[in-house]
Amino acid sequence: MARMAFVTLLTRISYLPGVLVLDYGLKSTGSKYPLVVMVTPTLEEDARDVLTQCGIEMYSINSLVPDSSRHTVADHDARFKDTWTKLRAFGLEGFERVVLLDADMLIKRNMDELLQMPLTQDEIAAAHVCACNPMKLVHYPADWVPANCAHTAVENPLGLPPAWTPTSPRPYGQLNSGTVVLNPSPALGEAIVHFLNTENLESFAFPDQDLLTSFFKGKWKPLPWYYNALKTLRVIHPQLWRDHEIRCLHYILKDKPWEARTPIVPGPFDEVHEWWWNDFDRMASGLDSQRRNKIFSLVDTSKER
């Protein structure tokens, strides 16, 4: 019988704390659907043991990376090397519907409704990118400016995201792949891999999400910001952000909360990083000493960032 589930990817042990807190958040908010973790051969046995001990289901997949002659991730985005492998979710067998989530996320409110939302077989649902580029990164697209950002057009926390039309700014048609609702099938998975192996990837600055934007052009439904609440939105788009509306908080950028508990210098994201540690502590307190010690060995609770 086909199942429904939340799905994430884990390729290395350094992201295991994120997966454990993601699983805890889904359970603590009363989700009736499990978290299934796609794992590659690169994942260490220690990480697999912890997942097994915590009762988290694993689904074995192979890595997915285009030939280096077709696409190379820039040094400043080296953390994105594994993200192509997220596309394996589209070919999962035995699932009617999945919600693909990044491992660097915190669940704040139940969002089981995503697994029941209307979606045709060839559609996906996802939230928009934030195209403001506040740090003025030169490698970001030239049209990534606040006036072209879909989030700028949302005037209040419960406002609907704008739909793309042929006259819309290009970023209105770009998704962030942190949260993606999809109906997987082997045929869809094969079609996406074929697209990856034949499409011109040179213009894809953000690997998997640029591919999904292109592959599902005209076939993706925009989700409200709070299903993929990029932590930067709290600063960049205060008109839409409300802490209590967040369903799923996304810790984008290089610094992940589990890498350091205490900041050296106060920053704009310290409070939302503290939320992650609060869930981590609650999750760890419910484990036996052996599992708790193993998990604490993977995070630095004293390191300053």
Per-residue model confidence (pLDDT) at position 287: 85
Per-residue model confidence (pLDDT) at position 143: 95
Residue 173 CA to residue 152 CA, distance in Å, equals: 14
Per-residue model confidence (pLDDT) at position 305: 44
Sheet with 124-128, strands from edge to edge, namely 57-60, 35-39, 3-10, 95-101, 175-182, 124-128, 220-222
How big is the CA angle at 28 (ends 23 and 30), to the nearest 5 degrees? 105
> Which residue did the predictor score with more confidence, 88 or 203?
88
Per-residue model confidence as pLDDT tens digits over 121-144: 999 999 999 999 998 888 889 999
Residues with Cβ < 8 Å from 294, sequence gap 6 or more?
Answer: 46, 49, 50
Q: Determine the residue type at 246.
A: I
292 has pLDDT over 90: no
Per-residue model confidence (pLDDT) at position 303: 56
Closest to 21 measured CA to CA, from 285, 243, 246, 304:
285
Residues in the chain: 305
288 has pLDDT over 90: no
300 has pLDDT over 70: no
Per-residue model confidence as pLDDT tens digits over 95-106: 999 999 999 999
Per-residue model confidence (pLDDT) at position 89: 98
Per-residue model confidence (pLDDT) at position 68: 59
Per-residue model confidence (pLDDT) at position 290: 81
Residue 252 CA to residue 249 CA, distance in Å, equals: 9
Q: Is 263 helix (H, G, I), strand (E, B) or coil?
A: coil
Q: What is the mean pLDDT of residues 165-190?
A: 97
Give 301's pLDDT tier (boundaries 50, 70, 90): low
74 has pLDDT over 80: no
Per-residue model confidence as pLDDT tens digits over 175-186: 999 999 999 999
90 has pLDDT over 50: yes
Q: What are 13's two structure tokens? A: 């042990």
Q: How does the average pLDDT of the chain come out, rounded?
A: 92
Instruction: Spell out the domain ranges in the chain.
Output: 3-296
Q: What is the mean pLDDT of residues 169-174?
A: 96
CATH class of 3-296: alpha beta
71 has pLDDT over 50: no
72 has pLDDT over 60: no
Per-residue model confidence (pLDDT) at position 294: 81
Q: What are 143's two structure tokens? A: 């049209």
| C-alpha to C-alpha distances, 124 to 12, 118, 121, 216, 242, nearest whole angstrom | 27, 10, 8, 7, 26
How big is the CA angle at 55 (ends 279 and 1), to the nearest 5 degrees? 115
41: phi then psi, degrees, rounded to nearest 5: -60, -20
Give 167's pLDDT tier (boundaries 50, 70, 90): very high
Residue 262 CA to residue 251 CA, distance in Å, equals: 16
Q: What are the E-state strand segments in 22-94? A: 35-39, 57-60
221 has pLDDT over 50: yes
> Which residue did the predictor score with more confidence, 224 or 295?
224
Q: Tokens 């499990």 correspond to what residue?
A: 34
Give 289's pLDDT tier (boundaries 50, 70, 90): confident
